[in-house]
Amino acid sequence: MPQRLLTRRRAYLRKYYAPRGAARALKGARPRAGELGSNGRPNGSHSPAALVAAAVREGLRKLWEEEREAHPQRSGVFYPSYIAHCLRKQYYTYTLGEEPTPETLAVFATGRGVHDAVAEALGAAASVRVASTEQEVTLNLDGVALSGRADVVLAEVGGRRVVVEVKSASRLPDSPYPHHVFQLQIYLSALGVEDGVLLYWDKRTGRLASFDVRRDPSYVGRAAERVRALMQHLASGAPPPREALLTGGLWECAHCPYRRECRPGLLPGIPEGSAVAVAEVDGALVDDSERRRAALAAAGVPGDAPPWRLTGEARERFLEAYYAEEALRLDGPGPLLARALRRPGGVRLVVVTSRPERLRAATEAELRGLGVAPDAFVMAPPGAEDDWRQRMLELLAEEYGIALVLDPDPWVRRAAERLGAEAPRPRGRAVILAQVLPARAF
């Protein structure tokens, strides 16, 4: 691997990937708060500022450990807050133990503060009556149990008992996150309460978003299935498949402390440390502008309408037509195709595309027709989030030297630049369309 790429990769690992605090031990890590004096120079290790910052870190760690000790892992007992998370991550939690990263401690501390504040606020409000806070809850499932604590149980809201689950967030969601709904559903079933509320508190702006959740008994069966699967893997010692990676939930990989063990960015057939070029198909290797125009017409909207603004049925019709296999015949050579073909020798080509898996064979054939033979092919799983390609790129960078990124999405190119990779901007008429249709919109 060229020295230049090795240097970039190390810099990236230092900045973004610090499992078990290893990156802090690397030379060159930036000083943390409390380590810099007012002159911008590092404080001496015995200065009050450095001692206070160290004390906060030490105290946070202690509080986190106390919390864990109060709820030790017991055989046959699982946590409702974990059960919807990547099964492989849960497996590592039980087999390798938990080691809090600075991020874990920050989430723990802010979450605690927000929970306490909301519980206190509800207690002070005259319109509701708090029955309990931090109530121990256990749901028994055929010999195993899901055991956790419900944040707030309200004795009465508009004549009904309600369980409130509080989450701090850096951005309020438009709808509740599925893993939070899962957790709350376990509490509702365990307590026999019909109504729940997921309450998100934006910790930067103080704004709130709350969502009604009605008890759905099907979650109990789903929880039992997941617990059984986890127990089988724990008994056999074989880690479960990379669930978050396979379902497109890469946000979970991005915060997962077990990436070093799991290695979600390592591709079969491409050894770690290789130099790679990462390319999207539509808008980069392939000119999709004709196909897009045809799909917009099929959706009944003008050909220059921004597709990412489509909603409801129009959006469904557009996606169906845009990703129809027979529509691929409208494609032509893309604006970055030549750049992919003249990449330096030894640089492997990895296609990371938002096209759905069902188009794999057709896409491979289309690329072959354009003279492109990728070394690896990663297609978006059904649940892929908007920023899937960007996150995938960041995972790949933990295993490979990213030399070149060919993608019409400016967010992906920005991530590439942060990684020190070359990320040329597509140019030309076809590309202007490609740029206003980032695949993240799908």
Q: At what angle do helices 48-70 and 102-124 cross, to 10 degrees?
A: 70
| Gap between the Cα atoms of 19 and 37, Å rounded | 28
Contact 404, 342 (CB under 8 A): no
Residue 80's CB is within 10 A of a number of other CB atoms, namely 25
Given the DSSP bridges, would you call strands 275-279 and 348-356 parallel, antiparallel or unpaired? Answer: parallel
**Per CB under 6 A, 84 contacts ligand SF4:** no
**Per CB under 6 A, 378 contacts ligand SF4:** no
Task: Kindly tell me which of 63 and 246 has the beta carbon lying closer to ligand SF4.
Answer: 246
Task: Kindly tell me which of 244 and 299 has the beta carbon lying closer to ligand SF4.
Answer: 244
Structure tokens at 202: 């934006």
Task: Kindly tell me which of 229 and 370 has the beta carbon lying closer to ligand SF4.
Answer: 229
Q: Among 8, 9, 14, 88, which residue interacts with ligand SF4 (rule: CB under 6 A)?
A: 88
Applying CB under 6 A, the site for ligand SF4 has a residue count of 15
428 DSSP assignment = S
Task: Kindly tell me which of 282 and 398 has the beta carbon lying closer to ligand SF4.
Answer: 398
b/e code 179-205 from CB counts within 10 Å (16+ = b): bbbbbbbbbbbbbebebbbbbbbbeee
Task: Kindly tell me which of 17 and 108 has the beta carbon lying closer to ligand SF4.
Answer: 17
**Per CB under 6 A, 179 contacts ligand SF4:** no
Q: Provide, rounded to whole angstroms, the least separation between the CB of residue 95 and ligand SF4.
A: 11
CA-based nearest residue to 440, from 394, 390, 387: 387
Q: Is 416 helix (H, G, I), strand (E, B) or coil?
A: helix
Q: Provide, rounded to whole angstroms, the least separation between the CB of residue 94 and ligand SF4.
A: 12
Q: Provide, rounded to whole angstroms, the least separation between the CB of residue 43 and ligand SF4.
A: 35
- Contact window for ligand SF4 (CB under 6 A) among 6-14, 114-122, 253-261, 343-351: 253-261
**Per CB under 6 A, 343 contacts ligand SF4:** no
| Gap between the Cα atoms of 425 and 410, Å rounded | 8
Q: Among 14, 89, 339, 355, which residue interacts with ligand SF4 (rule: CB under 6 A)?
A: 89
CA trace torsion 221, 222, 225, 227 (10° rounding)? -110
Q: Provide, rounded to whole angstroms, the least separation between the CB of residue 175 and ligand SF4.
A: 22
Q: Provide, rounded to whole angstroms, the least separation between the CB of residue 88 and ligand SF4.
A: 4
- Contact window for ligand SF4 (CB under 6 A) among 50-58, 60-68, 82-90, 345-353: 82-90
Q: Provide, rounded to whole angstroms, the least separation between the CB of residue 73 and ligand SF4.
A: 17
Contact 406, 278 (CB under 8 A): yes
Residue written as token pair 């402390």: 257
| Gap between the Cα atoms of 419 and 402, Å rounded | 7
| Gap between the Cα atoms of 234 and 75, Å rounded | 11
Which 213-242 positions form the footprint of ligand SF4 (CB under 6 A)? 242
Q: Among 128, 198, 244, 347, which residue interacts with ligand SF4 (rule: CB under 6 A)?
A: 244
Given the DSSP bridges, would you call strands 348-356 and 77-78 parallel, antiparallel or unpaired? Answer: unpaired
Task: Kindly tell me which of 14 and 391 has the beta carbon lying closer to ligand SF4.
Answer: 391
**Per CB under 6 A, 245 contacts ligand SF4:** yes
**Per CB under 6 A, 86 contacts ligand SF4:** yes
The enclosing H or E element of 165 equals: strand 160-169
| Gap between the Cα atoms of 4 and 401, Å rounded | 9
Residue written as token pair 């899901």: 146
Q: Provide, rounded to whole angstroms, the least separation between the CB of residue 82 and ligand SF4.
A: 12
Residue written as token pair 């959006």: 315
**Per CB under 6 A, 253 contacts ligand SF4:** yes
**Per CB under 6 A, 252 contacts ligand SF4:** yes
The contact mask relative to ligand SF4 for 258-277 (x = CB under 6 A, - = no) is xx--x-x-------------
- Contact window for ligand SF4 (CB under 6 A) among 83-91, 95-103, 298-306, 402-410: 83-91
Given the DSSP bridges, would you call strands 160-169 and 195-202 parallel, antiparallel or unpaired? Answer: parallel
Q: Provide, rounded to whole angstroms, the least separation between the CB of residue 89 and ligand SF4.
A: 4
* Residue ranges that bind ligand SF4, judged by CB under 6 A: 86, 88-89, 92, 242-245, 252-253, 256, 258-259, 262, 264
